Structure 1
């Protein structure tokens, strides 16, 4: 049955030495994109995301991390390629939020991942009315006050994740409403969603096929060798 792994790490934990070591692993095109980000935190998020991607793909495919080739593509997710003798690269999806970076991989099915930092100071009802469909904003307005912030971010991350999933699929359809008959949907034609709350984040993983299992791992340390030891 299909399965997936989500690796989570905090870019705020990267030291300057970590940054320099990770930059040496990137392609020329990736370094140029890294340099175009103006905010240091966004640079660290991008950098950590590309290293997590290489690590996750290599681990799932059974190849060395430096054997994973990542190519930039304008307005698209990067292209991942493995050595000619290896199998087809795994499916993947990346997301970031306020320093947190997540990478999901699966050998079995297309993915769309989104993480969002919960912020109780935002006017989630107003944002919902502006960004959600009528059915979705009405559903949010009906939620208990104590649950509303978490419910808003769960719905928001679900919409982002399904958009990423459908963008990754050939001829992807327009993302559907996430609420029908007053109920927040968890699946539909060609998509299945799983949601969690972790590290102050709302997290949604959408998949083309229903996943039997999803491992969520918050990594420690700043080297692939340390991550490998944690996962062994």
Structure 2
């Protein structure tokens, strides 16, 4: 969901959906862009999930694991429905799957975060060598393609920043990307599918998924604003 047209009416509609803790967090934001991103992504997940189950957006309840990953509260007795959220300047995203290990991350292509300083902490030696040989927008896109895919993997695993992401090496010279894991990751790379999407001209979206059976199939959908429930 692009945030360009997230107007006052949509913001008011989203506010009405929030739980008490979500509203408290919303009100605590000092940054207006961060507040709007939080509001939009909470509205997005609620209205999106209601398209898959007969639960109205305001009645969804969520919990988090000890690393902060959100999931549908067990009290709702919902099975076979899982999600991952991400938000950044200008865009919020919600990935929905029938399996638990799904992760999404989004970043603007022009974000200035000191890429050269971050690269040693997040890239394998081979990834870093390729990054340092690039310049301009290609260098930016390479960085954020890897960054979003690795962040999506971390989210899908649901164990927070304890994963040493520079030991997750991704080969972007093939399509779709292929992953190689160091021993520190303690996971089988062959379980995972990675996809990088340019859903807008300004953002890069990374998706990581461990599909229990079959191939990963992605169906992108863009909303102009937070959608009402189907029966509204």
Q: Which residue of 1 aligns with 2:126?
A: 135
Q: Does 1:99 align with 2:103?
A: no
Where structure 2 has 5 or more consecutive residues not aligned to the other structure, the ranges are 180-188
Kindly report which structure 2 residues correspond to 1:110-149, keeping only aligned pairs within 5 A, or say none: 110-119=101-110, 124-143=115-134, 147-149=138-140
Greater shift after overlay, 200-209 or 10-19? Answer: 10-19
Work out whether residues 10 and 99 of structure 1, in 8 Å CA contact, stay in contact via their aligned partners in 2.
yes
Q: Which residue of 2 aligns with 1:44?
A: 36
Q: Which residue of 2 aligns with 1:198?
A: 199
Distance 1:134 1:156, change over 3 A: same
Which structure is higher in strand share?
1
Q: Does 1:35 align with 2:27?
A: yes
**Number of corresponding residues:** 215
Q: Does 1:217 align with 2:221?
A: yes
What is the TM-score with the length of structure 1 in the denominator?
0.77
Q: Which residue of 2 aligns with 1:4?
A: none
What is the TM-score with the length of structure 2 in the denominator?
0.77
Q: Does 1:157 align with 2:159?
A: no
Distance 1:59 1:83, change over 3 A: farther
Aligned equivalents of 1:55 and 1:93: distance in 2?
14
Per-residue CA deviations over 1:98-150 (Å, capped at 9, x if unaligned) read 03100000013421100110017666444424542323211222347562221
Per-residue CA deviations over 1:184-209 (Å, capped at 9, x if unaligned) read 95341432211111212111110112
Per-residue CA deviations over 1:10-55 (Å, capped at 9, x if unaligned) read 2342222322221121111111111121111111111111111112
Per-residue CA deviations over 1:46-72 (Å, capped at 9, x if unaligned) read 111111111222212343323322346
Distance 1:221 1:29, change over 3 A: closer
Per-residue CA deviations over 1:63-102 (Å, capped at 9, x if unaligned) read 3323322346775133323775x54161110001103100
Distance 1:57 1:223, change over 3 A: closer
Q: Which residue of 2 aligns with 1:3?
A: none
Work out whether residues 139 and 183 of structure 1, in 8 Å CA contact, stay in contact via their aligned partners in 2.
no
Aligned equivalents of 2:54 and 2:124: distance in 1?
43
Aligned equivalents of 1:96 and 1:16: distance in 2?
19
